[in-house]
Amino acid sequence: MLSVSRAVQYLKGKSSHKLLTEYQSLRKRYWGQHLWSRGYWVATSGNVTDEVWKKYIEDQKPEEPDDNFKVV
C-alpha cells in the first residue's frame, strides 16, 4: 500500500526529472532550485464541487505585481 504523500512525492520527482531532462529552458530557469513546490492538496472528488476545484486552481495564480511599489 502506498500513502498519498509518497505517491505525490514520486509523481513530482519523476515528472520534474522528465521535464528538466527534455526542456533546456526549464533547466536554465530552475537551475539549483526545485521545479515543484513542497505542498500539495488532496480531497476526494465525491466531496468537492466543481466550484471548489475552480477556486483552488484560481488561487494558485501568482498575485499581480504592484507597479506602485517603491522603497523609501
Q: 3-state SS string over 5-51?
A: HHHHHHHHHHHHHHHHHHCHHHHHHCCCCCCCCCCCCCCCHHHCCHH
68 in a structural domain: no
Q: Higher confidence at residue 51 or residue 34?
A: 51
User: At 72, is the pLDDT very low, low, confident or very high (cuts 50, 70, 90)?
Assistant: low
71 in a structural domain: no
64 in a structural domain: no
pLDDT at 47 over 70: yes
pLDDT at 6 over 80: yes
The residue range of the domain holding 23 is 4-59
50 in a structural domain: yes
**pTM for this model (two decimals):** 0.49
User: At 31, is the pLDDT very low, low, confident or very high (cuts 50, 70, 90)?
Assistant: confident
Q: Based on the structure, what is the number of domains in the chain?
A: 1
CA separation for the pair 17, 65 (Å, rounded): 30
51 in a structural domain: yes
pLDDT at 5 over 80: yes
